[in-house]
Amino acid sequence: MDKDILSQKSIDKACQSMIKKSEKEGIETIWDRLENQQPQCGFGELGLCCRNCLQGPCRIDPFKGGPQEGVCGANADTIVARNLLRAIVGGTAAHSGHAKHLAHILAKSAQGKYKDYPVKDPDKLKAVASRLGIETEGKSIEELAGEVARLALEEFSDKEGPNLWAATTVTKGRVETFSKLGVVPGGIDSAISELMHRTHYGVDADPVNLLLGGIKCSLADYAGCHMGTDLADILFGTPQPVVTDANMGVLKENAVNIALHGHNPALSDIIVQVVKEMEEDARNAGASEGINLVGICCTGNEVLMRHGVPPLTHSVSQELAIITGVIDAMVVDYQCVVPSLANLMECYHTKLITTMPIAKIAGAEHMELNEENARECAKDIIKSAIEAYGKRRPEKINIPDNKCTSIAGFSTEAIVEALKKVDSEDPLKPLIDNIVKGNILGVCLFAGCNNAKVPQDENFVTMAKEMAKNNVLILATGCGAGSFARHGLLTPQATEDYAGEGLKAVLTAIGEAAGLNGPLPLILHMGSCVDNSRAVDIAVAVANKLDVDLDKLPVVASAPEAMTEKAISIGTWAISGGLPTHVGVAPNVLGSPLVAELLTEKAKELVGGYFIVETDPLKACEKLLEAIKERRKGLGL
Which stretch in 47-55, 158-166, 235-243, 330-338 sits in contact with ligand SF4 by CB under 6 A? 47-55
Residue ranges of the alpha helices (H) in 372-427? 374-389, 412-420
Residue ranges in contact with ligand MSK by CB under 6 A: 263, 297-298, 314-315, 336, 448-449, 478-479, 528-529, 563-564, 566-567
Nearest by Cα to 127 from 6, 248, 231: 231
Work out whether the CA dihedral 485, 488, 492, 498 comes out positive or negative: negative
Contacts of 88 (CB under 8 A, 6+ apart): 195, 214, 217, 218, 221, 565, 568, 569, 572
Phi, psi of 512 (to 5 degrees): -65, -45
Which stretch in 67-75, 163-171, 305-313, 481-489 sits in contact with ligand SF4 by CB under 6 A? 67-75
- Per partner kind, with CB cut-offs from 5 to 8 A, the member of ligand SF4, ligand MSK, none near residue 422 is none
Q: How many residues bind ligand SF4 (CB under 6 A)?
A: 14
Options 14, 18, 46, 58; binder of ligand SF4; rule CB under 6 A: 58
- 58 - beta bridge partners? 50
SS (H, E, C) 236-304: HCCCCCEEEEECHHHCCCCCEEEEEEECCHHHHHHHHHHHHHHHHHHHHCCCCCCEEEEEEHHHHHHHH
CB of 567 to ligand MSK, least distance (A): 6
**Residue (448 or 488) nearer to ligand MSK, CB:** 448
Options 201, 243, 360, 635; binder of ligand SF4; rule CB under 6 A: 201
- Per partner kind, with CB cut-offs from 5 to 8 A, the member of ligand SF4, ligand MSK, none near residue 312 is none
**Residue (46 or 102) nearer to ligand SF4, CB:** 46
Q: How many CA atoms are closer than 13 Å to the CA of 138, on its beta-carbon side? A: 1
Which stretch in 44-52, 86-94, 162-170, 354-362 sits in contact with ligand SF4 by CB under 6 A? 44-52
On whether the CB atoms of residues 389 and 287 are closer than 8 A, the answer is yes
On whether the CB atoms of residues 518 and 511 are closer than 8 A, the answer is yes
Q: How many CB atoms lie within 10 A of CB 138?
A: 6
- Per partner kind, with CB cut-offs from 5 to 8 A, the member of ligand SF4, ligand MSK, none near residue 566 is ligand MSK
- Per partner kind, with CB cut-offs from 5 to 8 A, the member of ligand MSK, ligand SF4, none near residue 53 is ligand SF4
Contact between 72 and ligand SF4 by CB under 6 A: the answer reads yes
- Per partner kind, with CB cut-offs from 5 to 8 A, the member of ligand MSK, ligand SF4, none near residue 449 is ligand MSK
**Residue (79 or 440) nearer to ligand SF4, CB:** 79
- Per partner kind, with CB cut-offs from 5 to 8 A, the member of ligand SF4, ligand MSK, none near residue 564 is ligand MSK
CA distance 433 to 200: 50
- Per partner kind, with CB cut-offs from 5 to 8 A, the member of ligand SF4, ligand MSK, none near residue 74 is ligand SF4
Q: Is 505 left (phi over 0), alpha (psi -120 to 50) or beta?
A: alpha
CB of 210 to ligand SF4, least distance (A): 13
CB of 602 to ligand MSK, least distance (A): 27
Q: Is 60 in a helix, a strand, or coil? A: coil
Work out whether the CA dihedral 484, 268, 356, 384 comes out positive or negative: positive
Q: How many CB atoms lie within 10 A of CB 5?
A: 11
Phi, psi of 429 (to 5 degrees): -60, -50
CB of 237 to ligand MSK, least distance (A): 20
CB of 37 to ligand SF4, least distance (A): 22
132: buried, middle or exposed (CB in 10 Å: 19+, 13-18, 0-12)? middle
**Residue (109 or 477) nearer to ligand MSK, CB:** 477
**Residue (81 or 327) nearer to ligand SF4, CB:** 81
What residues line the site for ligand SF4 (CB under 6 A)?
50-53, 55-58, 70-72, 74, 79, 201
